[in-house]
Amino acid sequence: MENVKLIGRVMPLDDTLWMALSGTGVEFSATGKFVKVTFLADDTWSGAPENRARVAVYVDGKRVTDELLDQPEMTVTAFNCEREETHTIRIIKLSESAMSTCGISGIETDGEIHPTEQKNMLIEFIGDSITCGYGVDDEDRDHHFATGTEDVTRAYAYKTAQTLDADYSMVSFSGYGIVSGYTATGEKLGNQLVPDYYEKLGFSFGTYKGEYKPQNISWDFTRRQPDLIVMNLGTNDMSYVLDKSDRREEYITGYLTFLKTIRRNNANAKILCVLGIMGEALCSAVEETVERYKKETGDAEIFYMGFTDQLPEDGYVADWHPTETTHVKAAEKLAGQIERIM
């Protein structure tokens, strides 16, 4: 895969390129009469449709194919023309890693392909379902999760990177938090924590090629490091913290610990902590955490920004998640803050 630019936490494995997390993929320039891409699904392909990996192929910025990988191997055509042409191809995994991963097993062309150039800035986004684009393609707020309605490219993080003409990487899982995942009972859900998988390739219930799990593979932080890290975590923790002061402090302590993990692995990145798209209850806690971290460590390269809670007039999608309209507003605010910080 030396002829493509890698996007996000992807990993070469057994002559394939493994994609797990939301937004992972590749980009390249192709000169020829055709380009075909072959995908391999993981072992969830034969299961429920709502668990299958969703992928898209773009040609010169336009989406030309959008597929749920409902068979073990699938080949799609990016372009096919009578004369030799040059196009920029981008392949993106639209859905998140927990339900399914996938791989690229081949890129076929009669011409040549070359990696596109790196952008001047790399942003890493750490988040939950909001970052994943949960349900953004399902405008019924009473519907629930399905990979087929999840599209990371319609969410604020991807849009922010586009606005700033930046490369990106994402580490995001729906329902996950810092000290607790989303809980309907108020009891802690301690097995859905982003910090547990931040230093991994990802997390998935399935296996790739019958044996590989992303949570068993450590991420190599010696690869290109981000210039900026945006962390948007706390929406799911809110369901556990509620109005209990001791749990608020537990959240702050957990957040501080996670910030130190992030800094240990990314020595030179600026860190921007954000929250509020689906509720502002813990925004003050995040702001307090940032100030505590600065005082405790002397690290001044960390910042806070609060989002505005989503507005009823902008609508809701599956499980009351933000619409693309809300994501656009969030991306505009975030991009402006990043420009000021950087």
Ordered by start, the domain boundaries in the chain are 5-115, 122-341
Give the CA dihedral 278, 283, 285, 289, nearest 10 degrees: 110
Q: Do residues 136 and 94 touch, judged by C-beta distance below 8 A?
A: no
Distance of alpha carbon 69 from alpha carbon 66, whole angstroms? 10
Among candidate residues 298, 251, 302, 300, the one with its CA nearest the CA of residue 274: 302
* CA end-to-end distance (rounded Å), the chain: 31
> Does domain 5-115 correspond to CATH entry 2.40.70.10?
no
- The residue length of the chain stands at 342
Cβ contacts of 47 within 8 Å, gap of 6 or more = none
Q: What is the pLDDT of residue 145?
A: 94
Separation of CA 111 from chain center:
32
Distance of alpha carbon 182 from alpha carbon 118, whole angstroms? 36
Q: Do residues 145 and 182 touch, judged by C-beta distance below 8 A?
A: no
3-class DSSP state of 257: helix
Q: Consecutive sets of 10 residues in the chain, 342 residues long: mean pLDDT of each? A: 92 96 98 98 81 97 96 96 97 97 97 97 98 97 96 98 98 98 95 98 94 97 96 98 94 98 98 98 98 98 98 98 98 98 96
Cβ contacts of 291 within 8 Å, gap of 6 or more = none
Q: What is the pLDDT of residue 1?
A: 67
Provide CATH code, domain 122-341.
Answer: 3.40.50.1110
Q: Do residues 204 and 100 touch, judged by C-beta distance below 8 A?
A: yes
Q: Do residues 286 and 273 touch, judged by C-beta distance below 8 A?
A: yes
For residue 39, list its beta bridge partners. 74, 104
- Of all residues in the chain, what percent are helix, strand and coil, respectively (each to 5)? 25, 30, 40
Q: Burial-class residue 45 by CB neighbours within 10 Å (0-12, 13-18, 19+).
A: buried
6's tokens: 């890698």
pTM, full prediction: 0.97
Separation of CA 139 from chain center:
21
332's tokens: 């505009």
Q: Do residues 33 and 82 touch, judged by C-beta distance below 8 A?
A: yes
